[in-house]
Amino acid sequence: MRMRPSISKLFCAGLASAALLGPTQAADFYANKKIDFLIGADAGGGYDVYARLIAKYLPQALAGTPTVVPRNMPGAGSATAAASIYRIVPKDGTSIGALFPGVVIAPLLEDNAQKDLFDPSKFVYLGSADNLIRVCVTYETSKIKTMDDALKNKTIVGASAAGGSTRDYAVFTKKATHAQFDIINGYKGTVDILLAMERGEVDAMCGIDWSSLKAQRGDWVRDHKLNVIVRYGADPQKELDELKVPDISKFIPDDNDKKAVDLIVSQQTFGRPYIAPPETPEAQVKLLRDAFMKVMENHDFIADAEHAHMDVTPTAGDKVQDVVNKIYSAPPAIAQRARELIKP
């Protein structure tokens, strides 16, 4: 006589079947779907170049080969895009974004309305394409050739709006080092500031990523048309090491200011962060995180990046999430001093 399966066996079998079906259903999620990719930067800049290259290869890395549609949403140092991703776009895995790292720590460091628009610690971090080293540069025609020159002589510095790295880095460099900076705010982005340097309207730009600079003006770097007067972040970088570019800490006399600047500069660990909205389902988060790392390891992507002089030093999404959490756990006194340093 054939025995009827016990209830417990049927239950276990059901769980096993669900486990087998789950990944398949998750893998099919992106079939015939579109992913909106919001880029919180102007077209043509370094962040836009990186994001669009990732958008080119992302469909290949996701089962179902969805269509990925990049769209620029600049404004307020990526805060416009961040608020849209936090509050407006679907939270189902079909919307992702590229942000400036400064906007991730802005609510911690700036006294403005961004605190009410989004909470960066609640974003889902898919990964970062580069561990940045930022620099302050002058054009070859400027009389300012070194950081020592900037400490002693008036230096006109072009900068973007609040929240952008070129504005924030210029301000804290001026305050922490007592450089003789005259900061001109309001440039649309790095492309416009570089043009202003070439025309002689400004002497310098601070807070631009070394990799972005090479991607946008590789010929200037190659032909030594720039003076790299200081770097932010002491991690090894072959070209800057060979040029013997000094780290910003060398020029900061106060120890508490050094700690505050370290907090600000820590954003460079996730130099090019890619995010999904809060509450994105775990299954889609895993698919997107895995796909991001597959893109970073794609030989064609790497070849395209090298051709465009783009550095690629990826960080996995869960590690970026950990770094953001640590930043938001910084001692209140250091966070307060950092706020004071980037306030105009």
Domain ranges of the chain: 30-131+269-342, 134-267
Check whether 1 has a pLDDT greater than 80: no
Terminal-residue alpha carbon distance, the chain: 86
Beta bridge partners of 315: 128
Q: What's the pLDDT tens digit per position in 158-210?
A: 998 776 889 999 999 999 999 999 999 999 889 999 999 999 999 999 999 99
Q: Are 227 and 128 in contact (CB under 8 A)?
A: no
pLDDT recorded at residue 233: 87
Domains 30-131+269-342 and 134-267 share a fold: yes
Mean pLDDT of 212-238: 92
CA 147, CA 316: separation in Å to the nearest integer? 35
- At 112, the pLDDT band (50, 70, 90 cuts) reads low
Give the residue from 171, 241, 215 showing the smallest Cα distance to 308: 215
Name the region of 153 (left: φ>0; alpha: ψ -120 to 50; beta: rest).
beta
Type of residue found at 94: T
For 30-131+269-342, CATH gives: 3.40.190.150
Token pair listed for 52: 């669009």
Contacts of 72 (CB under 8 A, 6+ apart): 39, 41, 42, 43, 48
Question: 134-267 is classed in which CATH architecture?
Answer: 3-Layer(aba) Sandwich (3.40)
Residue 70, SS3? Answer: strand
CA 117, CA 133: separation in Å to the nearest integer? 28
Q: Which of 4-8, 231-235, 320-324 has the lowest mean pLDDT?
A: 4-8
Check whether 257 has a pLDDT greater than 90: yes
Check whether 19 has a pLDDT greater than 50: no
CA 262, CA 220: separation in Å to the nearest integer? 29
- At 20, the pLDDT band (50, 70, 90 cuts) reads very low
Q: DSSP character for 206?
A: E
Q: DSSP character for 276?
A: E
- The mean of the pLDDT values for the chain is 90
pLDDT recorded at residue 300: 98
- At 320, the pLDDT band (50, 70, 90 cuts) reads very high
Helix (H) or strand (E) holding 192: helix 190-199
Q: What's the pLDDT tens digit per position in 267-293?
A: 888 989 999 999 999 999 999 999 999
Mean pLDDT of 222-243: 92
Give the residue from 145, 131, 159 showing the smallest Cα distance to 228: 145
Q: Are 294 and 339 in contact (CB under 8 A)?
A: no
Mean pLDDT of 98-111: 86
Beta bridge partners of 54: none
Q: Are 59 and 67 in contact (CB under 8 A)?
A: yes
Mean pLDDT of 312-340: 93
Check whether 149 has a pLDDT greater than 60: yes
